[in-house]
Chains A and B, each alone.
Chain A
Amino acid sequence: AQKITQTQPGMFVQEKEAVTLDCTYDTSDQSYGLFWYKQPSSGEMIFLIYQGSYDEQNATEGRYSLNFQKARKSANLVISASQLGDSAMYFCAMREGTGGFKTIFGAGTRLFVKA
Chain B
Amino acid sequence: DAMVIQNPRYQVTQFGKPVTLSCSQTLNHNVMYWYQQKSSQAPKLLFHYYDKDFNNEADTPDNFQSRRPNTSFCFLDIRSPGLGDAAMYLCATSRPETAETDTQYFGPGTRLTVL
Contact = CB atoms under 8 A, between A and B. Distances in A.
Interface of A: 29, 31-33, 35, 37, 42-47, 50, 52-53, 91, 95-97, 99-103, 105-108
B103 A108 contact: no
Interface stretch (B13-21, B62-70, B72-80, B106-114): B106-114
Contacts of A42: 108
A105 B108 contact: no
Contact of A43 (B40, B101, B108): B108
Contact of B103 (A29, A50, A96): A50
Interface string B78-115: 00000000001010100010111111111111010000
Interface residues of B, number: 28
A21 B60 CA distance: 31
B100 A106 contact: no
Contact of B55 (A31, A44, A97, A101): A101
Interface string B36-70: 00001111010010100001010000000000000
A33 B96 CA distance: 12
A37 B108 CA distance: 13
B91 to A, nearest CB: 10
A107 B88 CA distance: 16
B23 interface: no
B43 A100 contact: no
Nearest to B43: A105
B101 A33 contact: yes
B100 A97 contact: yes
A101 B99 contact: yes
B48 A47 contact: no
B111 A96 contact: no
